[in-house]
Amino acid sequence: MDARLSVPDLKRKLLEEVRALFHRNGSVWKEPILDVLQDLRRSNVQAVLFGGTLRSLLVSRLFEGRPGRPRDVDVVISGVSLSRLEEQFSDILIRRTRFGGLQLKRGAWQFDVWPVSETWAFRQDHSGPADFAELPSTTTFNLEAVAVEAWSNDGRPRALFSGNDQFFEGILSRTIELNRVDSPFPELTVVRALVLASDLRFKIGPRLASYISDAGRSLSEEVLERVQASHYGHARMDGRTLKHLIAIVAQRPSHRESCELPVMGQLHLWQNREPPYPRVNIQLLGS
């Protein structure tokens, strides 16, 4: 990555990657995603891409020099009720989820659909608007704290929402840091942090390192593998390796500095083959 890049540079590059993602170029893996989004747009709703989807696009371009294919896709939409969406997508509806949303499937892609008002962070806060601009405040990690409009209906450029720009600052410093301390699934936070930092070869920030040390010390190898299987569909790392990484983080020389992990093999920014169970998470605003 060019050391001369700034936050405005990264914002421009991210918007370019989003435009490229929405360009139909014959890529089979894109079609189900674009078809669903096109159906949503016909319903006069607003939508943003959110979180790890955007990280995958930007990091792939910066560190591999080519467009990336997200491992999963998060979409937040506004202006439609859950019941209306259930009727509209009845042909691909699998079930209602325990979180008050819908699970859809088109092609190989699975879509989880739920109202943004039911998002855990918004429910915990009980204050402020549940809108696109506030989404960056809800993420566990800094590298998810960003959203970009999927389209604009009035001809203006896509809006980008990044709060205090911690997403872009994290990319520039190559550091994954904790955004929200509270989490409903601390074991998943530990696993995701270690897998993401290892994949990207990013440092772990001081707050996140302390979180991993505290929440990870009691997790067994079996639990670490089970959490991965539930979240990723398979264990990305064996439990023994993850326990070793937790120990490295816990034994870091200074609790006020970022922690670097040992290189754990090849860098994988995205799957080069069709993923077996790709997921698309769609949250609904104002429903």
Q: Which pLDDT value is given to residue 284?
A: 56
**What residue spans of 174-252 are helical by DSSP H?**
186-200, 206-216, 221-232, 239-250
Provide the CA 200 distance to its chain's centre, in angstroms.
14
Measured between its terminal Cα atoms, the distance across the chain in Å is 41
Domain assignments of the chain as residue spans, ordered by start: 7-173+270-285, 175-250
Fold of the 7-173+270-285 domain: Beta Polymerase; domain 2 (3.30.460)
Q: Which pLDDT value is given to residue 145?
A: 97
CA dist 20 and 58 (Å) reads 11
**Quick one: which of 240, 191, 172, 200 has its CA closest to 13?**
172
Stretches in the chain below the pLDDT threshold 50: 266-278, 286-287
> pTM score, two decimals?
0.86
| Number of neighbours of residue 226 by Cβ within 10 angstroms | 16
pLDDT in tens, 241-282: 999 999 999 999 888 899 999 876 544 444 434 444 445 555
